[in-house]
């Protein structure tokens, strides 16, 4: 399949590398308003470069387009590409508001094209292990959980581009970094019922938040805390998810939530647990999540099934972030309104 990338910043390199590792996939073109941003892809992958997306669509045979632009541009590009009958891989978040998200989803449905949102952490070995433990009900009834992202994004990071840290085009730590962990909480624990949150901008000179503390009550009754920050000195400190059940406790953690930090399950011996921990330590990253997500999109197209991460799931986690923001703004709990059934695999 022929791929194109729109937006040639940092994250686009992960897409390009992933495409190059997949048999039968080829990066044929890239598009960016800044011509110098595309030089790497021309030299490294032989891609044709365009500063105008209409020219690229007219001149190239493209099956799938990866949208890697600032988040505020996702919606307009996705609708345009869907109308051009291109399958779409869009970086998180799917959009910056629910109206734009609906436009994307409807355009893809109307044009019968596939849509997936980039949440590659689902493919990490330790995350897949945790999901299997939950699916097999090894922890029993879940009482509560917590997700933590205490990272460093210094002022230089935000000063790289004018759109970084803005509410219109980027968002803060919750929308940008912790959205992956929120996606995992939804994947693990199901639909939220109510949220409450405090947001603050403490240390970074940005419009959006650099610290967020929140609580989720799930429809199942599970309670979860969410702590996120981009203010930690001097580097990433912790990314973790902990789940507490009646028959066990599991924590995945480290600076990037790659390791099995704690596991106790009724009936499992210490030697069994140590073997699981060691299996994760040997290859904590596994196959890159971007590669597996793109491979899944190819399989979904060929077999006419939904991608593993659907547009509706992208909408669900975006709504959760927006409800956190609304709660912080109003200082009130926010009911997670059941607008429609979401597709959750």
Strand 334-335 versus strand 142-150 pairing type: unpaired
Q: Is the pLDDT of residue 185 over 60?
A: yes
Give the other-Cβ count within 10 Å of 205's Cβ.
10
**Strand segments (E) across 219-341:** 223-229, 238-245, 248-253, 259-265, 334-335
Q: Write down the pLDDT at residue 337.
A: 77
Give the C-alpha separation, 207 to 315, whole Å: 23
pLDDT score for 177: 97
Q: Reduced to 3 states, what is the DSSP secondary structure of residue 150?
A: strand
Predicted TM-score (pTM) of the model is: 0.96
Q: Are 319 and 186 within 8 A, CB to CB?
A: no
For residues 133 and 252, membership in a common domain is answered with: yes
Alpha-helical (H) ranges within 35-147 are: 39-45, 53-59, 74-83, 98-110, 125-135
The token pair at 242 is 């902990």
DSSP 84: T
198 located within any domain: yes
Q: Is the domain of 54 the same as that of 79? A: yes
DSSP 72: G
CATH label of the domain that carries residue 9: 3.40.50.720
Same domain for 128 and 79: no
Query: Could you tell me if residue 88 is inside a domain?
Result: yes
Same domain for 190 and 135:
yes
Residue 313 domain-assigned (yes or no)? no
- Please report the pLDDT score of residue 284 as a whole number: 98
pLDDT at 83 over 50: yes
Q: Are residues 184 and 160 in the same domain?
A: yes
Q: Residues 48-54: what's their mean pLDDT?
A: 98
Peptide bond into 35 cis (omega under 30): no
**How do residues 245-256 score in pLDDT, each as one tens digit?**
999 999 999 999
Q: For residue range 166-180, what is the model confidence (pLDDT) as tens digits?
A: 999 999 999 999 999
Q: What is the pLDDT of residues 288-335, one digit of tens each?
A: 999 999 999 999 999 999 999 999 999 999 999 999 999 999 999 999
pLDDT of amino acid 341: 43
Supply the CATH number for residue 275's domain: 3.30.360.10
Q: How far apart are CA 203 and CA 214, in angstroms?
A: 19
Q: How do residues 113-163 score in pLDDT, each as one tens digit?
A: 999 999 999 999 999 999 999 999 999 999 999 999 999 999 999 999 999
Mean pLDDT on 24-35: 98
Domain that holds residue 177: 121-285+318-330
- Are 196 and 214 in contact by the 8 Å Cβ rule? The answer is yes
Is 271 found in the same domain as 135?
yes
Distance, C-alpha 50 to centroid of its chain:
27
Question: Count of domains in the chain?
Answer: 2
Same domain, 140 and 101: no
pLDDT score for 342 = 39
The span from the CA of 196 to the CA of 323, in Å, is 8
Q: How does residue 343 score in pLDDT terms, banded at 50, 70 and 90?
A: very low
Q: Are residues 109 and 153 in the same domain?
A: no
The yes-or-no verdict on residue 78 having pLDDT over 60 is yes
Cβ atoms within 10 Å of 276's Cβ, excluding its own: 16
Phi, psi of 263 (to 5 degrees): -150, 125
* Res 99 pLDDT > 90: yes
pLDDT of residue 180: 98
Q: DSSP label at 304?
A: T
Residues 36 and 102 in one domain: yes
Residue that has been written with the tokens 């647990």 in this structure: 273
180 with 195, same domain: the answer is: yes
Q: What whole-number percentage of the chain has pLDDT above 70?
A: 98
Query: Do 125 and 114 share a structural domain?
Result: no
Q: Which of 187, 285, 173, 287 is nearest to 236 (CA)?
A: 173
Same structural domain, 266 and 132 = yes
- For residues 250 and 139, give the distance between their C-alpha atoms in angstroms, rounded to a whole number: 9
Contacts of 40 (CB under 8 A, 6+ apart): 8, 13
For tokens 């308003």, the residue is 33
Q: How far apart are the C-alpha atoms of 181 and 66, rounded to whole Å?
A: 22
């Amino acid at each position: 399949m022929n791929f194109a990338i729109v937006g040639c910043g940092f994250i686009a390199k992960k897409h390009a590398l992933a495409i190059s590792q997949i048999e039968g996939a080829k990066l044929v073109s890239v598009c960016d308003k800044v011509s110098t941003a595309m030089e790497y892809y021309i030299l490294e992958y032989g891609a044709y470069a365009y500063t105008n997306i209409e020219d690229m669509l007219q001149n190239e045979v493209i099956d799938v387009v990866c949208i890697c632009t600032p988040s505020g541009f996702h919606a307009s590009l996705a609708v345009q590409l869907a109308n051009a009958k291109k399958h779409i891989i869009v970086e998180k978040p799917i959009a910056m508001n629910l109206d734009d998200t609906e436009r994307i989803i409807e355009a893809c449905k109307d044009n019968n094209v596939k849509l997936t949102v980039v949440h590659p952490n689902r493919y990490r070995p330790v995350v897949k292990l945790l999901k299997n433990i939950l699916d097999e009900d090894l922890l029993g009834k879940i009482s509560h959980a917590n997700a933590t992202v205490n990272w460093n994004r210094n002022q230089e990071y935000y000063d790289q581009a004018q759109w970084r840290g803005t509410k219109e085009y980027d968002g803060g730590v919750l929308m940008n970094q912790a959205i992956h962990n929120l996606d995992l909480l939804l994947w693990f624990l199901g639909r939220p019922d109510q949220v409450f949150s405090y947001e603050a901008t403490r240390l970074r000179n940005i419009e959006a938040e650099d610290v967020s503390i929140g609580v989720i009550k799930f429809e199942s009754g599970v309670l979860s805390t969410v702590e996120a920050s981009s203010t930690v000195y001097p580097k990433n400190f912790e990314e973790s998810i902990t789940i507490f059940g009646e028959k066990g406790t599991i924590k995945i953690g480290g600076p990037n939530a790659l390791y099995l930090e704690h596991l106790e399950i009724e009936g499992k011996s210490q030697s069994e647990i140590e073997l699981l921990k060691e299996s994760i330590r040997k290859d904590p990253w596994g196959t890159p999540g971007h590669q597996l997500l793109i491979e899944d999109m190819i399989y979904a197209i060929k077999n006419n099934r939904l991608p593993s991460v659907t547009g509706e799931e992208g909408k669900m986690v975006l709504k959760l972030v927006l409800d956190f923001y609304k709660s912080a703004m109003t200082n009130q709990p926010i009911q997670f309104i059941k607008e429609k059934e979401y597709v959750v695999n």
